[in-house]
Amino acid sequence: MDRSIFLSLALASLLVGVVSARDWNILNQLKALGSSSSSGQNAIVSSGLSTNLKRYCESWRFNVEVHNIRNFDVVPQECVSHVQNYMTSSQYGDDVERTVDEVILHFGSMCCSKSKCDGMDAWIFDIDDTLLSTIPYHKSNGFFGGEKLNSTKFEDWIRKRKAPSVPHMVKLYHEIRERGIKIFLISSRKEYLRYATVDNLIQAGYYGWSNLILRYN
């Protein structure tokens, strides 16, 4: 096998994306519509507004995940609670599980059934919100993407080594490792956080990678 395999789990991009979404605030447009109506119509507009907002935010989230929407700094203000609800819901876990199942099926049909692997394949994982979950950080300090990540605070949190694994990802990780595929971890975490990162990864159930590549301090 001369092929390298790269996985990018788009789910991660919701929390760690970098954009300016100010330009498309559907809420402002709907409010403008609502203010020109009579009060009876206002009630209708505002109940329609919450339905529309939910649908708009769902659609925004979906398009981030499939990587149509890129390069945003913050989640649009009106969708922050939607993103929070999703990321803390069992649906998120189910979605990751489906992704993991599909990846494992892909192995079966393609290059790497356990007997066929020759150790020449590589797999790249990101860390935050791919292997380790930052949801506890967002629950206590963060704003679920509604404000730019405060790197001082975030790095303090990383040093506590308390990030749990993303659901189902330990299983995928070892499915890959047991096939003899070399695992490379690449993260925007800084080099000085190496020990904390390694400890946290091992505590969460990940081990046996070939290289962990971090950013220079």
Ligand X SMILES: *[C@@H]1O[C@H](CO)[C@@H](O)[C@H](O)[C@H]1NC(C)=O
Q: What is the three-state SS of 141-190?
A: CCCCCCCCCCHHHHHHHHHCCCCCECCCHHHHHHHHHHCCCEEEEEEEEE
* φ and ψ at residue 104, rounded to 5 degrees: -65, -40
Q: Cα dihedral angle (153, 208, 99, 189), rounded to 10 degrees?
A: 20
Q: Which of residues 2-61 bind ligand X (CB under 6 A)?
A: none
Closer by beta carbon to ligand X, 4 or else 150: 150
C-beta closer to ligand X: residue 91 or 150? 150
Spatial distance between the Cα atoms of 118 and 111, rounded to a whole number of angstroms: 10
Closest approach, Cβ 159 to ligand X, in A, equals: 13
Q: Given candidates 35, 51, 152, 217, which one binds ligand X under the rule CB under 6 A?
A: 152
Nearer to ligand X, 16 or 198 (CB): 16
The DSSP code for 161 is T
Q: What is the rounded CA–CA span in Å between residue 4 and residue 124?
A: 9
* Site pattern 121..150 for ligand X (x: CB under 6 A): -----------------------------x
In the block, tokens 């059934």 appear at: 113
Closest to ligand X by CB, 41 vs 150, is 150
Residue closer to ligand X, measured from CB, 116 or 153: 153
Judged by CB under 6 A, which of 153, 160, 194, 215 binds ligand X? Answer: 153
Residue nearest to ligand X according to CB distances in the complex: 150
Give me the residues that bind ligand X (CB under 6 A), please. 150, 152-153
